[in-house]
């Protein structure tokens, strides 16, 4: 992400320190993660200490301080999904993409996150790919979903 793009985002929020979280969200939306250079630029432009910017970025789970894949996978591991086979979904993701929760594959195609609940208990086990829910997953269906991601 270029410094000009970061500056455009900051300017959109009038470089107000109270907009720090919104600025970080916007940067991550465009870049899929928050590189150190972006945090430094935000700190400089807003006049907020870098330690504070880093603290905010590290505190909220919505932010990532490491590069993410082009496609975000979220697998529900809550009680209902767990009882219905969430571990098999995670195992299939590992077999197909070679990643475990918290990892990104070597080609930066997929990033995987295990979440406690996605609010779709009746559809369990559930996986969300780029915001789209896929429910009642068996290993073969999980594999099909991953192979059809463009």
**With helix as H, strand as E and coil as C, how does the chain read?**
CCHHHHHHHHHHCCCCHHHHHHHHHHHHHHHCCCCHHHHHHHHHHHCCCHHHHHHHHHHCCCCCCCCCCCEEEEEECCHHHHHCCHHHHHHHHHHHHCCCCCCECCCCCEEEEEECCCCCHHHCCCEEECCEEECCCCHHHHHHHHHCCC
Domains and CATH numbers, the chain: 3-59 (1.10.10), 71-147 (3.40.30.10)
pLDDT reported for residue 65: 93
Could you give phi then psi for residue 133, rounded to 5 degrees?
-80, 140
pLDDT reported for residue 83: 96
pLDDT reported for residue 56: 96
Q: Of the candidates 36, 12, 37, which has an alpha carbon nearest to the alpha carbon of residue 26?
A: 12
Q: Of the candidates 66, 8, 60, which has an alpha carbon nearest to the alpha carbon of residue 34?
A: 66
Q: How far apart are CA 88 and CA 106, in angstroms?
A: 22
pLDDT values of the chain reduced to their tens digit, one per residue, 150 residues: 899 999 999 999 999 999 999 999 999 999 989 999 999 999 999 999 999 999 999 999 889 998 999 999 999 999 999 999 999 999 999 999 999 999 999 999 999 999 999 999 999 999 999 989 999 999 999 999 999 998
pLDDT reported for residue 114: 94
Among all chains, which residue has been given the structure tokens 């790919």?
A: 129
pLDDT reported for residue 82: 97
pLDDT reported for residue 11: 98
Predicted model pTM:
0.75
pLDDT reported for residue 150: 82
């Amino acid at each position: 992400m270029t410094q000009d793009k970061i500056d455009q985002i900051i300017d959109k929020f009038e470089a107000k320190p109270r907009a720090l979280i919104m600025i970080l969200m916007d940067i991550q939306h465009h870049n899929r993660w928050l590189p150190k250079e972006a945090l430094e630029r935000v700190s400089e432009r807003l006049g907020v200490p870098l330690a504070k910017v880093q603290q905010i970025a590290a505190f909220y789970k919505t932010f990532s301080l490491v590069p993410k894949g082009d496609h975000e996978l979220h697998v529900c591991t809550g009680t209902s999904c767990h009882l219905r086979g969430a571990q098999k979904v995670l195992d299939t993701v590992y077999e197909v993409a070679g990643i475990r929760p918290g990892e990104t594959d070597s080609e930066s195609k997929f990033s995987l996150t295990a979440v406690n609940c996605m609010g779709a208990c009746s559809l369990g086990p559930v996986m969300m790919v780029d915001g789209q829910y896929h429910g009642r997953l068996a290993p073969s269906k999980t594999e099909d979903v991953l192979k059809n991601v463009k």
